[in-house]
Structure 1
């Protein structure tokens, strides 16, 4: 992150794998699992807890603390320090501007001093594994000093030395003891009289001094001793390898021997390849007369501003590209965590929060999800198999107490059979095997169903039983309660005043499909004593629950991501006014002037939480194009066009959207009406029935085939 300083620029440095805690810091850390020697005792504790739940009048238990372990040693994603760039700039600076170019993924700042123009350009390049900061001027540059520092509260003092005459080398540990990391930066000074010299300034610090240059640039690389392939039983879940020093030097040699123009070209091409050729227009007219903070300050709920809304859409895509094309998936703060210990650890929250980070990736053709699956395979699955064995006495599969929605979605959108065979299906199978073995007979309702117990709705207090039944005995988990609500639990104990931030019982509205595409012939309960609901009854109950859940501001939280989820759900109900209300409410309340999403706008300091930024593109698209999953390939896939188009976006277009069934789709509209839609099916895609719905009517119905192209005009 670059704040845009003039005489002093402090660039925040982050490495995607830098983490406090774990076995680096505490050799006794167990990844949140009990010691294997406690397995028999845990089995008895689990039996007692289940019987307590089944025998309780309301089917709940106060706590299950005996099953857990203290979170000591877990740690946090951490900042690596800063790059300090100082210049001898006088105070009489004019025409200052700084901006983020989201077409190139480049940050720039410009200013004038006594008729001399200055331009600083900063970018981090995926193909070169390096970052670049370049500064030039229309005259001779003032003297420049480059330095690394580790001035992050709690971060040990780093040792910075000169690797050679133009190269800084920082070696540190994130704690003592702790994960090791390196940063290496090399300066290239350009101009006939330019000179760059690295010199020690103390026993543990050094700087690079540049003089006589017309332009100067520093490139830097960094990494840790984290090794994802060492996260299994064989390696004692250490995740520890060697610092890749030689590889980092090789990256830096390649970068510094090039020139900024060619590096920027390669970076821009790589960045745009991740964007996948997708584009969205919502009829916005760019307002270049106002800065982003001015646009944000003037923004109003319900009135909105299509230009700012369009910027936020593209900003979300930019943030995912910045977060995800490396080894690890996007965490709760992407690569913008600035502290040694960041809120919620800036971790991978195994619930809706991590899912939100990737909601839009498939639909906007962003090839960025593989790090998420690698993380599941090499991090969650090995530790999760240990959890299954120790905590549940289950020998098949693995568990992280999370859904596996993204694995199936990736295959459904891409039809990548090779990936499905090698990674997707084995992960799904392991997850499913554990869930099957975890099911037990419901001894509370005694209705012949199978349930999971104990279970809670994420971050809600009640601990009860939940339905995850084998097909033949599946209750399907759909119950309408005493005040017309869709029950969050099998026990009817929902409160109509519960405005909790999570919508866990409505995940079948969005991003799931169990409620959106409810079918009584598939989802009828196994017991005749249970009610078989119609689609209308289920849909009405879900709507009532959504209404009573509030607008995303409650006693438990006032976060942006909960408003985004509500907005997406209202779009699924084809309620354009509520969809746009929640969307604009989140923008006004939960987005800072730099457009980062803020968890609680009243809190000091304000906490950046990236999931609302990354959810935003998916939410916008759900108001414009929907194709929720269906239970089988023989069930028609319903593609609904412009289901919740707000009046603020009367004209626009979508180019290159991806739909389930390996389908690409373009849509155009004008004067609040659809004008055209076209789709293309990938050559190797399997055939499936499709219905196109617009304005509540089926406007086209057909069966896809590989290579099919279809034009739909209204």
Structure 2
């Protein structure tokens, strides 16, 4: 879809670009950025693979990277269609209270049918599901046009995304003048800015700023007016009816005699700037969504106040700071650097400052690779998490970048791999982004999820959700396919993140007591009530019934994924109990008792595989995209650190070597992430992370490079299925960074404080990168590592361990490299140890 008449004209401009012999002036000398010699295609079908992102968590934007006309597609983090804003009777996709008795009977019947069936499976659990009416989608907030009154050929054009500064820039020559435009979203002031000027300080041609009258596809046409003589006011809704949103966009101009005038015209308005040497438009945005109103006390309305007053209070300071625009951009750069520079990575890359990024990507080959492009993709992943994870809501399926009234899969929160993958590397790299994630779980999952537990599962304790979640607490089971809907493990999987946050921070007891542990406990309470004696194998174990292994079609009992998850959840309860302040020892004893009785989800099958289900149903030709039964390999630990002392089965007592051999067999047979069911980037990078955990350098690098070649666009966005149009799905951007890092430092958890924690430095031998280093990689117990290497990681130049102030004294730690023990020690707070 072309963006209307204005962009259509831009797309037809003659652009004669000079040959690109070097990156643009001002591009980071480190090479830490993406650069191009042509603007992005105006057709928004190419938005996902050519446009470039900026964001601060609260707001986000995608830039076409135009010359005379720049097109900026806008996002507000909480703007969603559907939910109670569309239908006041929306109930999160749940059954009615008067259906609870029938659901209890249906669930009991399903459970018994599974036990009684010839192969331990049934066809469906659809009787438990509800049509997801008014589920909604993350929605775009429109388009901003910034237009200079220019004509003629464009030369010396460059656009680039500076990943050191978190700023998008464009430069070009036209009509005998050189122009420069930069755009960024500032976290400190919760605003985005776009600034344009001539490079020699001469007067700009007449400049206009307008909001698109061609709204996001499917969105009601908003009202655009002049809030004052220099400010556009945009008000609209995400549906009819729907959530209300507002944008305020204020223009400032410099230069003697500069004029800024807002002119209304019907339901639209335009700001015109004349006689200026520079012009800046600053915008803020918000909705009437309020996460704090998502509980029974507020009738699950999620309805907050009109955002107008809050936006006025933001736009004023954002446009009236001492030092003007230069001060604002410098404050933004400083804030971003302080947030990101706690961790540094070097893969021995040589920056290529002569080849545009899209050409580098086009030339990239599986297995051959490029340390520079891999380093750049890693850095982009961190940039995207900083730009989408620092707001009020967590990063969604597209981070915070989405267009139109409906995005693929709603750009929602898929919680059977995708949401989890978004945050895999956050703790390791010290990125403080987990708060919004845990607030979201506490305020949208728990209140409605407690109701779901009662009505759907006949459970009066704890909360439950299913796979697909919106911002309105959609906790019920969706109709349309038990393979993804019949999934009660989402809360348990997310509790691995809760525990990791405490484990890596090691000592944030106040957060753990007030938020982390209550989430763990509520999750555990639900699952304690939903483990049942195994009446099929009659082996005295407790199992989940029904369950499915995401997103397999088989509905059965004792799914390995679920059993492994719950075992790790119960371990976290025991390990965290003393720090929690909880005095409910009856609960702790109940957890320990159930954990000891439960099936641990570790069974070796008929062809040497780790079974995906307790019933041996695995096919050696199943190349399904999910690796659900290997969750204990990565990101969990129940498989990798299998220990018969904790996990022995009544029917089998394996060694760790036997379990790892079975895992390896399963991973081989699962294929390379290009099966008949999907061809996504996230399945490939998950495989890469698993191969890194198994210390297989060849397969790790094959999967990592295969994902980058096949599933990433010219703008290095991860794309779900190669083809046209390409679907942007951000999880592989984040998963790529996590998988790469797992090849450099691996810190799998252990079941008990009594178990020695092993940290693997450069577990791959050899690593794909000849030399390199990382600084301040955070691991469990509040430990951090600084490491440098040569000879593909087989030689460590430096390796230093530093303990935090709250590192627990006396915990046993073993540091490994190349299959050898570097050091065994009992850690102490603030200790610093040179390991080589």
TM over 0.5: yes
Of 137, 140, 144, the residue aligned with 1:79 is: 140
* Structure 1 contact 6–89 (Cα < 8 Å) conserved: no
TM-superposed deviation, 1:632: 1.5
Say which SS state the counterpart of residue 763 (structure 2) adopts: coil
Measure the CA separation in 2 of the matches of 1:575 and 1:682: 32
Matched, 1:155 2:219: yes
* Structure 2 contact 197–204 (Cα < 8 Å) conserved: yes
2:528 equivalent in structure 1: 436
* Structure 2 contact 630–663 (Cα < 8 Å) conserved: yes
1:251 equivalent in structure 2: 314
1:592 equivalent in structure 2: 713
TM-superposed deviation, 1:618: 0.9
TM-superposed deviation, 1:235: 1.1
2:643 equivalent in structure 1: 519
Say which SS state the counterpart of residue 821 (structure 2) adopts: strand
* Structure 2 contact 236–246 (Cα < 8 Å) conserved: yes
* Structure 1 contact 105–123 (Cα < 8 Å) conserved: yes
* Structure 1 contact 198–206 (Cα < 8 Å) conserved: yes
TM-superposed deviation, 1:644: 1.4
1:185 equivalent in structure 2: 249
1:660 equivalent in structure 2: 780
TM-superposed deviation, 1:112: 1.2
1:274 equivalent in structure 2: 339
Matched, 1:503 2:627: yes
Measure the CA separation in 2 of the matches of 1:691 and 1:595: 37
1:682 equivalent in structure 2: 804
Measure the CA separation in 1 of the matches of 2:397 and 2:596: 39
TM-superposed deviation, 1:267: 1.1
Of 185, 192, 206, the residue aligned with 1:131 is: 192
Measure the CA separation in 1 of the matches of 2:188 and 2:540: 56
* Structure 1 contact 301–581 (Cα < 8 Å) conserved: yes
Alignment of 1:603-642 (within 5 A): 604-642=724-762
Measure the CA separation in 2 of the matches of 1:249 and 1:556: 49
Of 108, 117, 130, the residue aligned with 2:169 is: 108
Alignment of 1:167-182 (within 5 A): 167-182=231-246
* Structure 1 contact 88–142 (Cα < 8 Å) conserved: yes
Alignment of 1:390-409 (within 5 A): 390-400=455-465, 401=488, 402=490, 403=493, 404-409=495-500
2:504 equivalent in structure 1: 413
Measure the CA separation in 1 of the matches of 2:301 and 2:106: 29
2:664 equivalent in structure 1: 543
User: Which has the higher mean CA deviation after the structures are superposed, 396-405 or 558-567?
Assistant: 396-405
TM-superposed deviation, 1:234: 1.1
Alignment of 1:484-499 (within 5 A): 484-499=608-623
* Structure 1 contact 169–182 (Cα < 8 Å) conserved: yes
Measure the CA separation in 2 of the matches of 1:546 and 1:218: 52
2:548 equivalent in structure 1: 456
* Structure 1 contact 25–175 (Cα < 8 Å) conserved: yes
Q: CA RMSD in A?
A: 1.0
2:123 equivalent in structure 1: 62
Measure the CA separation in 2 of the matches of 1:113 and 1:170: 32
1:90 equivalent in structure 2: 151
Measure the CA separation in 2 of the matches of 1:376 and 1:639: 30
Matched, 1:669 2:789: yes
Deviations 1:678-700 (A, max 9, x none): 01111122121111111111121
Question: Which contiguous aligned blocks of 4+ residues in structure 1 show a shift greater than 3 angstroms?
Answer: 645-648
Pair 1:646–1:81, CA change in 2 (3 A): farther
| Number of aligned positions between the proteins | 708
TM-superposed deviation, 1:645: 5.0
1:324 equivalent in structure 2: 389
1:570 equivalent in structure 2: 691
TM-superposed deviation, 1:646: 5.2
* Structure 2 contact 81–243 (Cα < 8 Å) conserved: yes
Measure the CA separation in 2 of the matches of 1:628 and 1:479: 21
2:271 equivalent in structure 1: 208
* Structure 2 contact 245–307 (Cα < 8 Å) conserved: no
2:655 equivalent in structure 1: 534
Measure the CA separation in 2 of the matches of 1:685 and 1:648: 32
Measure the CA separation in 2 of the matches of 1:346 and 1:130: 23
Say which SS state the counterpart of residue 288 (structure 1) adopts: coil
Measure the CA separation in 1 of the matches of 2:89 and 2:532: 33
Measure the CA separation in 2 of the matches of 1:626 and 1:153: 44
2:204 equivalent in structure 1: 141
Say which SS state the counterpart of residue 247 (structure 2) adopts: strand
Of 27, 47, 60, the residue aligned with 2:88 is: 27
Say which SS state the counterpart of residue 306 (structure 2) adopts: coil
* Structure 2 contact 151–175 (Cα < 8 Å) conserved: no
Structure 2 gaps of 5+ residues are: 1-61, 466-487, 568-593
1:362 equivalent in structure 2: 427
TM superposition score normalised by structure 2? 0.84
Matched, 1:650 2:715: no
2:603 equivalent in structure 1: 479
* Structure 1 contact 440–450 (Cα < 8 Å) conserved: yes
1:293 equivalent in structure 2: 358
Structure 1 gaps of 5+ residues are: none
Measure the CA separation in 2 of the matches of 1:174 and 1:539: 50
* Structure 1 contact 574–643 (Cα < 8 Å) conserved: yes
* Structure 2 contact 764–818 (Cα < 8 Å) conserved: no
TM-superposed deviation, 1:52: 0.4
Measure the CA separation in 1 of the matches of 2:98 and 2:196: 60
Measure the CA separation in 2 of the matches of 1:339 and 1:566: 32
Measure the CA separation in 1 of the matches of 2:519 and 2:139: 29
Measure the CA separation in 1 of the matches of 2:706 and 2:596: 44
Of 672, 692, 695, the residue aligned with 2:818 is: 695
Measure the CA separation in 2 of the matches of 1:109 and 1:586: 29
2:473 equivalent in structure 1: none
Measure the CA separation in 2 of the matches of 1:444 and 1:99: 61
1:198 equivalent in structure 2: 262
* Structure 1 contact 20–179 (Cα < 8 Å) conserved: yes
TM-superposed deviation, 1:339: 1.9
Measure the CA separation in 2 of the matches of 1:307 and 1:520: 43
Measure the CA separation in 2 of the matches of 1:351 and 1:70: 20
Measure the CA separation in 2 of the matches of 1:659 and 1:8: 47
Say which SS state the counterpart of residue 640 (structure 1) adopts: strand
TM-superposed deviation, 1:273: 2.7
Of 28, 47, 52, the residue aligned with 2:113 is: 52
Pair 1:309–1:645, CA change in 2 (3 A): farther
Say which SS state the counterpart of residue 329 (structure 1) adopts: coil
Deviations 1:306-362 (A, max 9, x none): 100000010000000110101000000012111210001001111111010000000
Say which SS state the counterpart of residue 453 (structure 1) adopts: coil
* Structure 1 contact 570–578 (Cα < 8 Å) conserved: yes
Say which SS state the counterpart of residue 477 (structure 1) adopts: coil
Measure the CA separation in 1 of the matches of 2:765 and 2:75: 39
1:704 equivalent in structure 2: 827
